[in-house]
């Protein structure tokens, strides 16, 4: 009887947790690899943003004008920006801006 109890305790305290860890480890490794890749992507994006040249005063003024235009378009036409693909160019920005019109009266 003592042998059976000893084997049961050895199974519950030593073998079962170790086998569970071995069974769950590959799934956890995959999850951690996915998190690591996401973090490395964010780190690369941060490094690229830090390496970008600072915005000059002319471009900052152009960005402020764009912001004012967006606010005016939103309030007057009841349009809101949905998608923007802008790139800095020589004197300001170039690209596309998609607006959605509100259906509210």
Query: Per-residue pLDDT tens for 1-37?
Result: 888 888 888 887 788 888 888 899 999 999 999 999 9
Measured CA distances, 54 to 21, 37, 59, 83, 87 (Å): 50, 28, 10, 24, 14
Counting Cα atoms < 13 Å in the Cβ hemisphere of 79 gives 14
Q: Return the domain boundaries, the chain.
A: 57-101
Cβ neighbors of 58 (< 8 A, separation 6 or more) are: 91, 92
pLDDT in tens, 50-94: 888 777 777 777 778 878 887 887 787 777 788 888 887 777 778
d(CA 86, CA 59): 13
């Amino acid at each position: 009887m003592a042998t059976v109890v000893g084997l049961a305790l050895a199974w519950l305290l030593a073998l079962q947790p170790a086998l569970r860890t071995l069974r769950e480890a590959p799934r956890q490794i995959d999850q951690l690899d996915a998190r690591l890749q996401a973090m490395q992507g964010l780190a690369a994006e941060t490094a690229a943003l830090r390496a970008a040249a600072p915005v000059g005063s002319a471009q900052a003024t152009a960005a402020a004008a764009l912001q004012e235009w967006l606010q005016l378009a939103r309030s007057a036409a009841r349009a809101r920006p949905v998608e923007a693909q802008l790139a800095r160019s020589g004197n300001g920005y170039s690209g596309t801006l998609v607006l959605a019109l509100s259906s509210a009266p």
